[in-house]
């Protein structure tokens, strides 16, 4: 009876041990065979995409509007985002409830409209004031971060900096590109309408040239000046042959009055010459717009316009024209009446009369060569006298010698076979050790292949099999 009782107690203990062992085996197999289950799924911002389990927490999330600027003069801003290594999608909103907001792929930069409304039409106007942008980051499993925010003040552009489109404190290529993009626009309040006349045109371009150097309009403004700017063409006289090229330089001499924008119209005889190319001088800003940049070799018209940032007040090169002559003839290359030079008030200060260069294309006249006297006849060379051919005596025929008897080959001497090469003991030992090492490597190859998680899984299975066999016994 006591023996049966002891056996029962042992069976209960063994049953408890077996239950724990089976539970350990099952959990181990599930964990090592399923790489999706990781501790990184338990909280946002821990671990890494590589599946590290005990990685430290990631840095704090960040959202920054316009590089942390306090004010903006435009409703369209740029947002820098940092959602960490686990972020896969994100949501942005101008309201804290994220109403009607859809998830979008995570990105570190986002262009954003401060007045946009999710699921509704974007309003045409945007009131001045403080605006807040709300952001959430999400992992691949949809786990969300806390709400991250940043604010910025949408302010009215002060008159002094109203033309500074991007608020960087200077007028430069950025504003130039905006003027070219908005050229001809009559939109009310257009940011490139520098003079508020309701259209983006050449006068706004002239103001851009004034402000480019950082000079204020009040400092650049001057009383209406008399027309003093001269245009100089050089050379003034051109004489050349057909199918030749020549260059004319255009210089501007403001004579002390600052010029900011200059347009040159050159007229030329299209039947005599054609424009090959035009080259602007250095430190000028070309205006490539309709009516301000044109080359028409059929009508004989060239139009080029450029700005001088900060203005010019002394003689300065505008550019150079390269022509190709076609045929003989004469004509004039001159500056047309549509040319102008604007001062700080947008007034044309170009001085008349406008210059011209005289062109003459001449065909080369061949010169007659003087007749050369005939060369004296050369005396005839007398024929050589034929000399009698001397007869040479015939040499006697050579006497043939009897051919020598062929030599008998020497008897072949057979050498004894070479003895097999005997390796030294040290080399034999090294060769045997190398072969043993290769055999061991081939035997251990399956063991080396099994590693990492598979090795642990194999060990768990072996332990489980041992427990099962012992239980059977």
Which residue reads 């090592």 in tokens?
A: 32
The 10s digit of each residue's pLDDT in 435-461 is 656 655 555 444 444 444 555 666 777
Q: What is the pLDDT of residue 139?
A: 92
Q: What is the mean pLDDT of residues 211-225?
A: 61
- Whether the per-residue pLDDT at 62 is higher than 70: the answer is yes
For residues 437 and 421, give the distance between their C-alpha atoms in angstroms, rounded to a whole number: 25
Q: How confident is the model at residue 40 (pLDDT cuts 50, 70, 90)?
A: very low
Q: What is the pLDDT of residue 194?
A: 83
Q: Contact, 323 vs 246, CB < 8 A?
A: yes
Q: What is the pLDDT of residue 385?
A: 46
Domain ranges in the chain? 62-154, 173-220, 230-361
- Whether the per-residue pLDDT at 366 is higher than 70: the answer is no
265: Cβ–Cβ under 8 A, 6 or more apart, which residues?
A: 301, 302, 303, 335, 336, 337, 338, 339
Residue 95's Cα: distance from chain center in Å?
A: 37
Domains 62-154 and 230-361 share a fold: yes
CATH architecture observed for domain 230-361 = Sandwich (2.60)
Q: Which pTM value belongs to this model? A: 0.47
The 10s digit of each residue's pLDDT in 151-160 is 999 987 665 4
Q: What percent of the chain has pLDDT over 70?
A: 61
Q: What is the mean pLDDT of residues 7-21?
A: 61
- Among 1-10, 238-247, 357-366, name the one with the lowest average pLDDT: 1-10
Q: Which CATH number among 3.40.50.10420, 2.30.30.40, 2.60.40.10, 3.40.430.10 corresponds to the domain 62-154?
A: 2.60.40.10
Own/partner long-range contacts of 445-453 (Cβ < 8 Å, ≥24 apart)? 453/32
**Alpha carbons within 13 A on the beta-carbon side of 384:** 3
Q: What is the distance in angstroms between the CA of the first residue and the CA of the last residue of the chain?
A: 23
CA gyration radius, the chain: 49
Q: What is the mean pLDDT of residues 90-119?
A: 93
DSSP 8-state code for residue 301 = E
Q: What is the mean pLDDT of residues 117-125?
A: 86
Q: What is the pLDDT of residue 170?
A: 80
The 10s digit of each residue's pLDDT in 248-272 is 999 999 998 899 999 999 999 999 9
Cis bond upstream, residue 235 (ω within 30): yes
For residues 69 and 152, give the distance between their C-alpha atoms in angstroms, rounded to a whole number: 7
Q: Name the residue with higher pLDDT: 366 or 371.
A: 366
- Whether the per-residue pLDDT at 82 is higher than 80: the answer is yes
Which residue reads 């239980």 in tokens?
A: 471
Which residue reads 């804290």 in tokens?
A: 96
């Amino acid at each position: 009876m006591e023996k049966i009782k002891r056996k029962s107690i042992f069976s209960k203990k063994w049953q408890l041990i077996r239950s724990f062992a089976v539970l350990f085996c099952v959990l181990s197999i599930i964990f090592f065979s399923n790489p999706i289950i990781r501790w990184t799924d338990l909280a946002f911002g821990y671990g890494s995409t590589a599946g590290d389990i005990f990685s430290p927490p990631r840095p704090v999330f960040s959202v920054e509007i316009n590089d942390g600027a306090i004010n903006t003069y435009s409703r369209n801003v740029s947002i820098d985002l940092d959602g960490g290594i686990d972020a896969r999608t994100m949501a942005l909103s101008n309201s804290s409830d994220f109403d009607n907001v859809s998830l979008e792929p995570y990105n570190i930069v986002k262009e954003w409209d401060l007045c946009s409304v999710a699921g509704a039409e974007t309003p045409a106007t945007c009131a001045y004031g403080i605006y807040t942008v709300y952001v959430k980051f999400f992992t691949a499993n949809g786990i969300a971060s806390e709400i991250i925010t940043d604010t910025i003040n949408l302010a009215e552009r002060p008159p002094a900096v109203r033309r500074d489109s991007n608020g960087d404190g200077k007028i430069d290529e950025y504003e130039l590109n905006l003027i070219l993009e908005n050229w001809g626009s009559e939109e009310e309040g257009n940011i490139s309408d520098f003079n508020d006349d309701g259209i983006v045109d050449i006068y706004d371009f002239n103001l851009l040239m004034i402000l480019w150097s950082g000079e204020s309009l009040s400092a650049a403004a001057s009383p209406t000046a008399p027309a003093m700017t001269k245009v100089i063409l050089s050379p003034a006289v051109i004489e050349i042959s057909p199918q030749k090229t020549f260059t004319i330089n255009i210089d501007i001499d403001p004579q002390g009055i600052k010029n900011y924008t200059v347009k040159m119209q050159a007229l030329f005889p299209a039947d005599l010459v054609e424009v090959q190319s035009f080259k602007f001088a250095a430190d000028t800003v070309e205006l490539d717009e309709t009516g301000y940049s044109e080359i028409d070799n059929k009508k004989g018209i060239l139009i080029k316009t450029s700005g001088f940032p900060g203005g010019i007040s002394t003689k300065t090169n505008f550019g150079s024209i390269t022509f190709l002559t076609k045929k003989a003839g004469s004509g004039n290359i001159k500056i047309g009446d549509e040319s102008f030079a604007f001062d700080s008030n947008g007034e044309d200060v170009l001085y008349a009369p406008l210059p011209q260069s005289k062109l003459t294309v001449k065909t080369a006249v061949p010169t007659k060569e003087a007749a050369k006297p005939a060369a004296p006849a050369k005396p005839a060379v007398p024929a050589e006298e034929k000399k009698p051919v001397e007869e040479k005596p015939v040499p006697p025929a050579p006497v043939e010698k009897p051919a020598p008897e062929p030599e008998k080959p020497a008897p072949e001497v057979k050498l004894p076979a070479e003895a097999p090469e005997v390796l030294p003991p040290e080399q034999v030992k090294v060769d045997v050790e190398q072969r043993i090492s290769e055999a061991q490597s081939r035997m251990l190859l399956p063991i080396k292949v099994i590693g990492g998680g598979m090795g642990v899984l194999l060990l768990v299975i072996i332990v489980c099999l041992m427990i099962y066999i012992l239980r059977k016994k």
